[in-house]
A and B are shown apart, each in its own frame.
Chain A
Amino acid sequence: DAGITQSPRHKVTETGTPVTLRCHQTENHRYMYWYRQDPGHGLRLIHYSYGVKDTDKGEVSDGYSVSRSKTEDFLLTLESATSSQTSVYFCATGTGTYEQYFGPGTRLTVT
């Protein structure tokens, strides 16, 4: 258990509104990741970070931005939420070897 928390755990929002999800870790892991999980698609990488202020895009980054101002926090922002962004979002951390450790997830519904 890498000591990863996500907030909020559940959120319902309206189309067009901005939304920010927070991931907080206590393990001082260098790498942090945001994934979304949808039926039939498994887990898909949105953005990841390899250090403070160092971020890069994943395979489904359109409509999302991230920021990492401290080692322990990684924020995911939906600039203008759409119904296609209804999903379960997972944060993960890693040390740069093989393993990744996942948070409990945030269920986001965009109406």
Chain B
Amino acid sequence: TQLLEQSPQFLSIQEGENLTVYCNSSSVFSSLQWYRQEPGEGPVLLVTVVTGGEVKKLKRLTFQFGDARKDSSLHITAAQPGDTGLYLCAGLNTGFQKLVFGTGTRLLVSP
């Protein structure tokens, strides 16, 4: 069974701080995705990274896929209250078209 471990599980910070969330596995994935989920809603895709070593930026969010395609990180610069939510990483095994989700990181950004 492929597993994705996310750390930290909870993060409570002040507006303006920087943070990094990690997603690690012993398995290789063909791609890795990051989702954000708000209370009472389904996850919404933020980004997909496909190539080992790939870095993608989405405004204040920077996503990196590890060289060996086993891990990923999400870095948020100058966090804002609107960044509050549950962040989920998910790895895709192309052969089965099924996502394996991490356990999530719950982020709270206070004004």
Contact = CB atoms under 8 A, between A and B. Distances in A.
Contact of B97 (A35, A96, A103): A96
Contacts of B41: 104-105
Contacts of B31: 98
A45 interface: yes
Interface in A52-111: 58-59, 90, 92, 94, 96, 98-105
Interface residues of A, number: 26
B85 interface: no
A32 to B, nearest CB: 11
A31 B97 contact: yes
A49 B55 CA distance: 32
B6 to A, nearest CB: 8
Interface in A19-58: 31, 33, 35, 40-45, 48, 50, 58
Interface residues of B, number: 22
B104 A42 contact: yes
Nearest to A99: B45
Nearest to A102: B42
Residue from B31, B42, B90, B92 having most chain A Cβ neighbours under 10 A: B42
Interface of B: 1, 31, 33, 35, 40-45, 48, 50, 88, 90, 92, 97-99, 101-104
Interface of A: 4, 31, 33, 35, 40-45, 48, 50, 58-59, 90, 92, 94, 96, 98-105
Given A90-B43, A99-B48, A102-B44, 4 more contacts: A41-B103, A42-B88, A104-B41, A105-B41
